[in-house]
Amino acid sequence: MQILAGPIVQILMTAIGFSGGLALAAAGITLIYMTTGTFNFAHASMTAWGFYIVFSLYKVLLGGNPYLYFPVAFIFSGLLGVITYLVVNRWLLKRGADMVTLMMSTLGVDLAFFAFINIFADYLTATYKVNTRLIVLTTEDIILGKIGTFPFKAITIISVVIVVGMALFFYLLLNRTKFGIAFRITVENPALASILGINTETIYLFAWFMGGAMAGLGGAILSLVISGTPTVGNTVIVPEFAASIVGGLYSIYGGLVGGFLIGLSQKLIINWLGSVLGGNIVVYEPIIPLLIMAATLLLYPEGLAGIDWRRIFSRSKSSRR
């Protein structure tokens, strides 16, 4: 409802912040999927932990500035990923478990992490007498300036900077370092990679750390954009999945682009529909990413990254000629 009242500039800024968080988390899902073939349900709780880390450290335990705790969220959720890999995923991969078992095992991990978030939230409530069941940090963001009469919040810029920085980091890592080459070989052909002396376990460990960490960072960004409860992971996991799938599941950049596609369209389309059809339509917001995902998959069964862009480009060039 609040979104409706706001003018387009403000909606766009919220949408950008939201998309940034989504994009990071989606790229994390993609990263884990392309290396280990595991579609990670535990991303829901990893995102939610990022959200709660920022909330608890900033609002309850330490104070200061919410952005100070972004690295903490990054590392904490990254460690959750490492735990998931070392305790569960590693053994399943060694056994050559099928996709469904890999997926379901991460669901078990997600339920356990979800329980821990709630236990942590209960602890905070009992010890510090704060409401941990409805968290609103959106009003606590740093205001950089004003566009017209509307506050220009720092998260809009910072989320874009983080996403671009992450894309740049992966570009340099994958194309300019030995580790990146090893990573790409492992994705292409794990058996061949291990014959060449590449320790695929290091690659998998890296993927799980970065995947979890990006979910945590995404959650940290989202904490300044949307209000949340301990079930926030459950709410955002669907657009995250959608973004990752739309991105094609085999390209980190695809995940990032998918996040912006899903996030921007979710917020902007619902706003547009709200202004055309009336405010009642706003509750259907969560359906929009699902529709976009379904439409993309039915047109391109392997997502955006599955499209041969070069061929489309050359075809359009040749037709012009």
Q: Which is nearer to other proteins, 40 or 156 (CB)?
A: 40
Report in angstroms how near the CB of residue 242 gets to other proteins at its nearest: 7
Q: How far is the CB of 244 from other proteins (least distance, A)?
A: 9
- Per the CB < 8 A criterion, the answer to whether 232 and 65 are in contact is no
Closest to other proteins by CB, 8 vs 294, is: 294
- Residue (122 or 140) nearer to other proteins, CB: 122
Cβ-based nearer residue to other proteins, 54 or 117: 117
* Tokens 């952005």, residue located: 67
Angle, vertex CA 137, rays to CA 132 and CA 139, nearest 5: 140
Query: How many C-beta atoms surround the C-beta of residue 133 within 10 A?
Result: 13
Distances (CA, A) of 263 to 4, 106, 217, 266, 277: 16, 25, 16, 5, 21
Q: How far apart are CA 205 and CA 208, in angstroms?
A: 5
Q: Which residues bind other proteins (CB under 8 A)?
A: 33, 39, 87-88, 91-92, 95, 97, 99-101, 103-105, 107-116, 118-119, 122, 234, 238, 241-242, 245, 249, 283-284, 286-287, 290-291, 293-294, 297-298, 301-303
Burial of 298 (0-12, 13-18, 19+ CB in 10 A): exposed
| Nearest-approach distance from CB 268 to other proteins, in angstroms | 19
**What is the SS3 assignment for 307?**
coil
Give the shortest CB-112-to-other proteins separation in angstroms: 4
Q: CB-wise, 283 or 312, nearer to other proteins?
A: 283
List Cα–Cα distances, 137 to 16, 33, 55, 226, in angstroms.
Answer: 17, 31, 7, 8
30 and 243 Cβ atoms separated by less than 8 Å = no
Least Å distance between CB 21 and other proteins?
19
Per the structure block, which two tokens stand in for 243? 């973004």
Exposure b/e, 7-32, CB count within 10 A at least 16 = b: eeebbbbbbbbbbbbbbbbbbbbbbb
Number of H helices, E strands in the chain: 14, 2
Instruction: Report in angstroms how near the CB of residue 126 gets to other proteins at its nearest.
Output: 10
Q: Which is nearer to other proteins, 284 or 313 (CB)?
A: 284
Query: Measured from the CB of residue 205, what is the shortest distance to other proteins in angstroms?
Result: 18
Q: Which CB, 171 or 284, lies closer to other proteins?
A: 284
- The DSSP secondary structure of 198-220, one letter per residue, reads --HHHHHHHHHHHHHHHHHHHHH
CB nearer other proteins, residue 37 or residue 151: 37
Least separation in angstroms between CB 249 and other proteins: 7
Rounded CA-CA distance 202/66 in Å is 32
CB of 104 to other proteins, least distance (A): 6
In the complex with other proteins, the residue whose CB is nearer, 7 or 286, is 286
